[in-house]
Amino acid sequence: MLKPKKNNALKRMLTYAAIFILLICAAYAVGYKTGFDKGADSASRNRNILLVNAENLLPADYVPQDLVNLYEMRHSFRLASSDIYMAREAYEPMQEMFYAAELENVNGFIVTSAYRSYERQKEIYAESEPGYAQTPGASEHQTGLCFDVTAMNSADGFENTEQYKWLRANAYKYGFIQRYPANKSHITGISYEPWHYRYVGVDAAEYIYRNNITLEEYLK
């Protein structure tokens, strides 16, 4: 009768050991995931957390999926031209954001640029003064997840308009960040651009906004 008892005890010990190992693995996985996310939602962990800069280039054949023509879908904002495209996943929250601004009597937004192909960036780079345009592959516009904006009353600079002030205070609520803030060019490699906004998802955008950091710092 002693032998079966020993076998049962051994089985229990092996079962407990297996459960313990599974718990450790689960805890490690959760910890790893939390450290990677930094508050970002599931969408943010994919394409819209893509870091694009002089050190992280997009390939020439990179084209975002589901591009939409903003001229055909514009509401609560105007366009500088009729051939501006944007990834749908960024367009929809942008439209929601501009509509919210309109409800607060802040309107007159003009989107001047969004998606830009590698070839188009190559042309702009060739035509621009040195240091003015980003090299092909280094422009966030190729992601389709950002936009440049101005306002009808921006003669004194967009950063001095009520539209800019509204975006600065509210863009994160819709998943957008001011990609190239003031006093951060030593990190981003790009001078201050109050008109350039990038979609990263609501959770990531709020984390970046609350902590006054850049996308480079967030993704460290």
Question: Could you tell me the mean pLDDT of each successive run of 10 residues in the chain, 220 residues long?
Answer: 51 53 42 37 50 97 96 93 97 98 97 98 93 92 98 94 98 99 97 97 98 97
| 113 alpha carbon, distance to own chain's centre | 16
Spatial separation of the C-alpha atoms in residues 46 and 36, rounded to whole Å: 12
Q: Which three-class secondary structure state does DSSP give residue 113?
A: strand
> Is 193 among the residues known to form the active site?
yes
Torsional class of 86: left (φ above 0), alpha (ψ -120 to 50), beta (otherwise)? beta
Question: 92, 159, 193, 206: which one is catalytic?
Answer: 193
- CB distance 145 to 64 below 8 Å: yes
Q: Which three-class secondary structure state does DSSP give residue 88?
A: helix
For residue 212, the tally of other CB atoms under 10 A from its CB is: 10
Q: Which three-class secondary structure state does DSSP give residue 220?
A: coil
- CB distance 199 to 89 below 8 Å: yes
pLDDT of residue 9: 54
Question: Taking the model in full, what pTM does it have?
Answer: 0.78
pLDDT of residue 7: 56
Spatial separation of the C-alpha atoms in residues 56 and 138, rounded to whole Å: 7
